[in-house]
Structure 1
Amino acid sequence: MTTAPRPILFVSLPESGLLNPMLVLARELARRGTPDLWFATDEPRRADVQGSAGRTPVEFASLGEVFSELSAVSWSDEVYREVTQSSRFKAHRAVIRQSYRPDLQAEKYRRLESVVAKIDPALMVIESMSSFAVDLALTRNIPFVLSVPFLPSNVLTSHNPFGSSYTPKSFPVPHSGLPYPMNFGQRLGNMLFKLRTLALFLNPGMGKVLSEDNRIRKELGLPAASPMTRIDRAEMVLCNSVPELDYPFDVPEKMKLVGAVMPPLPEASGAADDGLGAWLDARSSVVYMGFGTITRLTREQVGALVEVARRLDGRHDVLWKLPEEQQHLLPAPESLPGNLRIESWLPSQLDVLAHPAVAVFFTHGGGNGFHEGVYFGKPLVVRPLWVDCFDQAVRGRDFGISLTLDRPQTVDPDDVVDKLTRVLDDPSFRRRAERLGGLQRAAGGRVRAADLILDLPALSRPGSSDRTPVQN
C-alpha cells in the first residue's frame, strides 16, 4: 500500500526581495514534477505564482490583499523618510514601529490557518519575515524550512543583549552597519544599539503594542514570541548566501548556505527585451544602476544621477532602471547625455547582470541585489537605503568587492563618480567579486536547495527516492 503524497506549502510576504527566491525554488520543484505544490501569499502576486507551472503546477493560495502597514512599497513619504534617515538606530526603530502590528499579523495567521486546514501540508517552506506562518507551523506541529534571503548573521544574531544568539556576543547587531572586528568605540556603539532596541519595548507606546501581541497570542494559542525560535524549531534553514560573504562565525549545522537562488538563464527572450540585449551587445563597459522597488528618489537626486552619467560619457555607458512613476523627475529628454539608457522595467535584471558588458552594479545594497551582483562577478558601488543594506555594504567594502557612498542620503555626483571610477579602474574589485561569485555558484543555488528539501524526513514516503534526474 502506498501513501499519497501530502503537499508542500510555500509562504511569503509579497515584497519582491522576499518572494522571488521562494518562487524560483517552487518552480524548480515543479520542473522536477514534484506533486502538490502550493504557494500562499497576498492576492496581487497571484499571476506570478500561477505562472510557475513546470511538469506539475504550483497552486496559488490567497492571503488576501496587501496590508499597507506591512508593505514598505506603500508606506507614506513621511514614513519612508523616517526609515531611511541617516541614523541607523532611528531608522531601525522606525521600521519596528511601522511594521510591528500584531493585529495584522493575526489576520494573516487566520487566513493562512484556513489554507492549512484545506491542504494539510507535510512541510511548510516559510520566508523568514513571515512570522505569522512560523507561529502557525509551531502551533500545528508542522515541519518547516526557513528561507533566508539575507546574510546568515541577519537571522542568527539577537538584537537583545541578554538573549541567546548563534553568533558571538561581540558580533555586529543586524542593521547597525558595523564591521567585525570592532574598535572600542564601535563595540560601545554595538552594545548601545542592542540596549536601545530593548528599551524601545519599554516605551509606553510600544508597551501597549507588546501587551496587545501577548493578548492575541494567548487568544490564538500561540507560543511566546522569541526571536530565535524560528531557527531552533526549523527542520532546516536555507540561506541564499555563502560563508565568505559574511564575517566569520560558526554556522549551525541546520543552516544550509546555498548561494543566490537563481532561475535558469536567460529569463527573457530576445523579443521581450525591446532591443536591450542588442544595446548591451554593442557596448564595451556599462554601469548598471538599479535601486530596488522601495527606493524613492527626489528631483535633485535624479538630476544628480543624470549628471553622473554625463561625466562618464566617452568612457562608460549607463543603464538605469528608473520606475515610471519617478521618471517625471527627469530633466528634458533633449538634455539627457547620449550614453544614458533609462528603462522603467527590465524583463530580467539577472540577464542584465549576467551580460559581459556590465562592469559594475550601482545598487541600494539589498540582500538580493548584493548577492546577485556578486553571483555574476560584478563589483558594486552601494548607496545603502535602510536596515540590512548597511550590513551588506560594510561587508562588501571589507571584502574588497564594493565601495559605499560617503553620503548615501544624498547623491553627490563627485562622490558617485569617484567611487564608480575607483571600482572600474582597479581590477582587484572584479577579481574578488568573480572569486566570490564562483563560490556562490559552487554552493548549488536552487538545485541544491530543492535537493535538500526533497531529502527531508517530513517528505519521506514510499517511492520518494525515485526522483527525476535534474538537468542543470
Structure 2
Amino acid sequence: MDSARRPILFVTLPESGLANPLLVLAEELSRQNVPDLWFATDEPRREDVKRISVGSPVEFASLGEVVTELSAVTWDDAVYREVTQSSRFKAHRAVVRHSFKPGRHEEKFHRLAAVVDEVRPALMVIDCISSFAIELATSRGIPYVLSVPFVPSNVLTAFMPFGKGYTPRDFPVPHTGLPYPMTFAQRVSNALFKWRTLAMFCTPEMSKVVAEEKRRRTAHGLGKPSLMARIDHADLVLCNSIAELDYPFEIPAKMRLVGAMVPPLPEAPQDDGLSRWLDEQSSVIYAGFGTITRLTRGQVESMVEVARRLQGRHQVLWKLPSEQQHLLPPEESLPANLRFESWVPSQLDVLAHPKVKVFFTHGGGNGYNEGVYFGKPLVVRPLWVDCYDQAVRGRDFGISLTLDRPRDIDVDDVLDKLTRVLETPSFRENAERLGALQRAAGGRETAAELLLGHPALAPARA
C-alpha cells in the first residue's frame, strides 16, 4: 500500500536574508495544503514560523538559541567594524575567522540531528549557508534541496586557486566586488584574492581550526571540506535570482533560477496608516539598509540632511531600527518630508507601491532581487561581502548606482546618485524590464512545483 507521510524539513539560520525566502516557500506549500511540513531554525523565529501556517500546518522545530558566532546580527561592535571595513579582502577574512567555528557548528548539527530523528524527513530544504544541515543530510543520505538567496555565481565560483568551480577561471571571486570582464589590474587583484584566501588557512591559528574541522567531519563520515560539495551533493538548487542579474556563464542544470521569493501581496493589509501615507505622496525614496547595518550618529545626521535637501521634490521613507533612533536630531528639527519607521511590516508592500520611485539599499541578495522584481532602480550603499558583488552588477546592468564613499554617507554623493537615478529614465526602464523577467521566473510557485515533483516525495510503497 502507499504511505502518504513524506515529511519536508526546512532548515535555515535565523538571518532574514536566509530565512525569509524559505518562509515564503514553506507558506506556499502550506497554502497548497501539502501535509507534513516542518521548519527548523533558531528560537527567535518561532512566531514567524507559526504565521506561515495558512493552510496545512507548518510545525516549528527549535534549533535552540542563536549562536553568536554564526549570526551576524549578534556580533559585537568590534566584530561588526571588522567585517564591514573598506578592505574587501580583510572584511572577507574577518567573516571567515568569526564564523568558521567547528565547535559551534557541531552544536547545531546535534540539535538538528535530534529533529531529524523525530521528523524522519523524506526531503530537506536548506539555506546555502547552513553547512551543519548540509553535512547532516549528506551523512544520513537524506536528499536535499539548496536555497540560494544570492546571484548564482556566489555559490558557483571558487574562492581559492585550483579550487573546483562552475564559473570560468577568470570570473570575479565572490566578495571582491569586481566586474566582468576585468582589466589586467583587476585580474591580478582577483587572483591575489584567491591566493590570500588560501594563505589565511595556513596560519598557525587557522591550521588548528582546520584540524578540528577535519576531526569533526571524519567522526560523521564526511569527506574533505569543499564549498562546491554543497552544490555537488544537492539534488536541486533553487536560486532566488535570474541569469540576467549576474554576469554570463553556463549555469549547471541542477540550479533552477526561480526569481525572488515574494508572497501574495499585500503581505500586511492591516497596515493602513503607511499605505495611506504612500498613496498621498507623489514620489517616495525608500531607504532600508537591512537588519545588520549599524549606523553612527554622523551617518544618521547625513541621512537627515539628505532628506532635508530633497524637500519639495521627494519624500523619504526610512526604515531605521528603534535601537538607532536615539541618534536622530531632536524631532522638531527633522525635515517634514522624512518619515522613519522602526519596522516596516512588509518591505515588499512598500517596494510594490507605485509611488516608491527608488530603493536606497545596502545591496544584499534579497534587496537586490526584490527591488528589481518590482521594477525599482537602486542606489546602493554596500555593507559587506556580497553587497559589493550585487552593487557592481547593478551598475553594469544599468539598474543602479553605488555610493563613492559608502562608509561616510557623504551627503553630496548620496544626493548625486539619487538624483541621477531618479532623473535618468533608463534606470527605471532597465529595472522594469528585468523585473518582468523576475516575475516570469515564477518565484514561490515555480519553486513549490519543483519541490513537489522531487522523487523523494513520491508515495512510498509498503
Scaled by the length of structure 1, the TM-score of the pair is 0.97
The residue type equivalent to 2:40 in the other structure is A
Q: Which residue of 2 aligns with 1:206?
A: 206
Q: Which residue of 2 aligns with 1:74?
A: 74
Q: Which residue of 2 aligns with 1:455?
A: 453
Q: Which residue of 1 aligns with 2:334?
A: 336
Q: Separation in 1 of the partners of 2:317 and 2:174?
A: 31
Secondary structure, aligned partner of 1:350? helix
Residue identity (%): 70
Shift of 1:462: 7.1
Q: Which residue of 2 aligns with 1:187?
A: 187
Structure 1 residue corresponding to 2:298, chosen from 297, 300, 322: 300
| Aligned ranges 1:353-432 → 2 under 5 Å | 353-432=351-430
Question: 1:420-458 CA deviation, whole Å, 9 max, x = no partner?
Answer: 000000011000000000000000000000000000111
The residue type equivalent to 1:246 in the other structure is D
Question: 1:96-129 CA deviation, whole Å, 9 max, x = no partner?
Answer: 0000000000110011111111111100000000
| Aligned ranges 1:244-263 → 2 under 5 Å | 244-263=244-263
- How many residues were matched structurally? 461
The residue type equivalent to 1:390 in the other structure is Y
Q: Separation in 2 of the partners of 1:405 and 1:324?
A: 25
Question: 1:19-56 CA deviation, whole Å, 9 max, x = no partner?
Answer: 00000000000110111000110111111112211221
Q: Separation in 2 of the partners of 1:54 and 1:417?
A: 43
Matched, 1:233 2:233: yes
Q: Separation in 2 of the partners of 1:26 and 1:223?
A: 31
Q: Separation in 1 of the partners of 2:278 and 2:119?
A: 46
Q: Which residue of 2 aligns with 1:446?
A: 444
Secondary structure, aligned partner of 1:10? strand
Q: Separation in 1 of the partners of 2:337 and 2:111?
A: 50
Shift of 1:391: 0.1
Q: Which residue of 2 aligns with 1:310?
A: 308
Task: Single out whichever of 259-268 and 46-55 deviates more from structure 2.
Answer: 46-55
Q: Which residue of 2 aligns with 1:220?
A: 220
Question: 1:161-190 CA deviation, whole Å, 9 max, x = no partner?
Answer: 111100000000000000000010000000
CA contact (8 A) 2:379 2:417 kept: yes
Secondary structure, aligned partner of 2:2? coil
Shift of 1:5: 2.1
Q: Separation in 2 of the partners of 1:388 and 1:160?
A: 17
Task: Single out whichever of 213-222 and 90-99 deviates more from structure 2.
Answer: 213-222
Secondary structure, aligned partner of 1:318? strand
CA contact (8 A) 1:151 1:240 kept: yes
Question: 1:346-389 CA deviation, whole Å, 9 max, x = no partner?
Answer: 11000000000000000000000111100000000000000000
Matched, 1:436 2:420: no
The residue type equivalent to 1:56 in the other structure is S
Q: Which residue of 1 aligns with 2:45?
A: 45
Q: Separation in 1 of the partners of 2:2 and 2:165?
A: 43
Q: Which residue of 1 aligns with 2:155?
A: 155
Question: 1:219-254 CA deviation, whole Å, 9 max, x = no partner?
Answer: 233332111111011110000000000000000000
The residue type equivalent to 2:263 in the other structure is P
The 1:462–1:119 alpha-carbon spacing in structure 2 relative to 1, beyond 3 Å, is closer
Q: Separation in 1 of the partners of 2:84 and 2:444?
A: 32
Question: 1:165-220 CA deviation, whole Å, 9 max, x = no partner?
Answer: 00000000000000000010000000000000000100111111111111122223
The residue type equivalent to 2:243 in the other structure is P
Q: Separation in 1 of the partners of 2:245 and 2:48?
A: 30
Q: Separation in 2 of the partners of 1:299 and 1:54?
A: 42
| Aligned ranges 1:47-196 → 2 under 5 Å | 47-196=47-196
CA contact (8 A) 1:150 1:239 kept: yes
Q: Separation in 2 of the partners of 1:50 and 1:161?
A: 44
- Stretches of 4+ aligned residues off by more than 4 angstroms: none
The residue type equivalent to 1:405 in the other structure is L
Question: 1:125-163 CA deviation, whole Å, 9 max, x = no partner?
Answer: 000000000001110000000000000000000101111
Shift of 1:3: 1.8
Task: Single out whichever of 441-450 and 202-211 deviates more from structure 2.
Answer: 202-211
Q: Which residue of 2 aligns with 1:322?
A: 320
Q: Which residue of 2 aligns with 1:272?
A: 271
Q: Separation in 2 of the partners of 1:278 and 1:40?
A: 37
The residue type equivalent to 1:210 in the other structure is V
CA contact (8 A) 1:135 1:223 kept: no
Secondary structure, aligned partner of 2:3? coil
Q: Which residue of 2 aligns with 1:470?
A: none
CA contact (8 A) 2:286 2:318 kept: yes
Q: Which residue of 1 aligns with 2:35?
A: 35
Cα RMSD (Å) of the superposition? 1.0
Question: 1:247-286 CA deviation, whole Å, 9 max, x = no partner?
Answer: 00000000000000100000012x434x111110011110
Q: Separation in 2 of the partners of 1:455 and 1:93?
A: 40
CA contact (8 A) 1:380 1:403 kept: yes
Q: Which residue of 2 aligns with 1:11?
A: 11
Q: Separation in 2 of the partners of 1:45 and 1:428?
A: 40
Scaled by the length of structure 2, the TM-score of the pair is 0.99
